[in-house]
Structure formats: C-alpha cells, structure tokens
Amino acid sequence: MNYLYIANWKMNLSYSQSLDFCTNNIDQLNALVYSAQVVLCPSFVALGPIAQVLKKSSITIGAQNCSEFESGSYTGEVSAASLAEIGVSYCIVGHSERRIYFGETTEKIIKKINLLYANAMMPIICIGENKEEFLQKKTIHALTEQLEPILKTFVHQQYKHIIIAYEPFWAIGTGIIPENTYLEEISIWLKNYVAEFAPDCTMQLLYGGSINEKNIHQLKTIKLIDGFLIGGASTNFETFCGIIKIG
C-alpha cells in the first residue's frame, strides 16, 4: 500500500494561502496520488472552498479538530456532521497541541472518534510521550494510558480500521527526530498492542514530528511505518512534494 501523508497546516497558513497552495499546484497534486495517499488539513474556514477546488481530484481533505458534541448550543464549535457535509474525509484528534493548550482529554477524544465514525470519516488519532516521559523511559506507559481506553471503544463499537499517528511531543516543531532504533521499537510495540487488543482491526501507523526533506529517507527505512503526519514542512509545496517523492 502507498504511504499516507497528512499535511497539518495548523494555523500557519491563512485562508488565502491555503487556497493558493491548492489552486496553484492542482496538477502536481493530482500527479502525486499515483504513488501516495495525500490528505490536506487546512483550518476550518478553508475546508469548504478547498473541497470545491479538489472535487475532481483524488486528494482528500481532513479537519484539524471537531466538536465532541453532536450538535447544539456550543458557541464556536464545528460538528463532525458539518465536516462530513462539505466533503471532509479525515479529522485529526488528540494532537499534543490540543491536549496541551485546549485540554483535550482521552474522554473528549473518544467522543470525537465516535462522532467521526458515525459520520463516515476517519479519525487520525495522535498519541505520544512528553519529554519528561521520554527521558524517564516511560514512553510505553504513556502510550498505554492514552491508547487503552480508545482501543476499548474500538472493540466495543467494532470499528474495523484505525489510524494512529505516533508523535513524540518533544519532536514536534523542534527539528529533532527519534533514532530509528527507538522508532522501530515503538512501532513494533504499537502494532502488537493494537493487534492483541483489537484483532479484527486493520491499522495504519503514522510517524509525526519534525519531518523534513533531509530526514525522510531515514524514516522511510522503518518498515512498520505506513505514513507520515507533517506539520511545518507541509506548508511549502516544493518541500511537501520532496518529502513524498524521496525514497
């Protein structure tokens, strides 16, 4: 299967910059899909217009967040149902920036996951250890804490496919990536853990954190990684293409 590349533009590209990225590069973007699955995640306001621009292409779009509530009086929130209506196929949940700055708890993440599946979208579930946990060799403990309640829901709801983005918090936006041996160890553990817990579930494992054109070749040698979640480096079209084409 081709690698899955998720571009997380966060709040780094404005509405017009996001649209320009797509309209100026539509042909090259379409050419990429022969060798890769590509998902662009702009901010909420750009999702609808970008869905129109990409309507006839195989590039898919993802949201960076959705509400934990189905509908109702929740000022400022965007429902999973609204995202589905405008053609969104994926949604990032549990990103470390949302956990740290917006209090996204596992309980909220599970509510979001259920609403996304109910609306036929795929959640991209981000998990990872912080710097302290990494230094104290508590990564597996941290990942288990984050993942176990989510996997219980998967088993209970009988969801058939899971996308997990392993993103060590300390690697995001820092220019530092883990050693391959470390990533291999974590990837083996994650794949085994999901297989044991939810044997009927297929899985795509993504790595995210400071990916660039220089380190992608090394990351692509790790056999168990099925794709990449790319922040900063995905906001420049040439760099993003380079990452997809290398290796």
Nearer to ligand PEP, 87 or 232 (CB): 232
Identify the residue among 68, 133, 167, 226 touching ligand PEP (CB under 6 A). 167
Nearer to ligand PEP, 159 or 169 (CB): 169
How far apart are alpha carbons 62 and 7 in whole angstroms? 9
Question: Which range touches ligand PEP (CB under 6 A), out of 28-36, 61-69, 104-112, 205-213?
Answer: 205-213
What is the SS3 assignment for 61?
Answer: strand
**CA 139 to chain CA mean position, Å:** 19
- Interaction of residue 173 with ligand PEP, rule CB under 6 A: yes
| Kind of pairing between the strands at 4-8 and 202-208 | unpaired
Nearer to ligand PEP, 147 or 172 (CB): 172
Comparing every residue's Cβ against ligand PEP, the nearest one is 231
Alpha helices in 5-105 (DSSP H): 15-24, 26-32, 44-53, 80-85, 96-102
Write down the least CB distance from residue 53 to ligand PEP, Å: 23
- Interaction of residue 211 with ligand PEP, rule CB under 6 A: yes
What residues contact 69, with CB distance under 8 A and at least 6 apart? 77, 79, 111
- Interaction of residue 210 with ligand PEP, rule CB under 6 A: yes
Give catalytic residue positions.
95, 167
Task: Let me know if 38 is exposed, middle or buried by CB neighbors in 10 A (0-12, 13-18, 19+).
Answer: buried
* DSSP 8-state secondary structure symbol assigned to residue 91: E
Closest CA to 118 of 62, 151, 157: 157
Question: Which range touches ligand PEP (CB under 6 A), out of 29-37, 59-67, 129-137, 227-235?
Answer: 227-235
Interface mask (CB under 6 A) for ligand PEP, residues 5-34, using x and -?
A: ---x--------------------------
- Residues contributing to the site for ligand PEP (CB under 6 A): 8, 167, 172-173, 208-211, 229-233
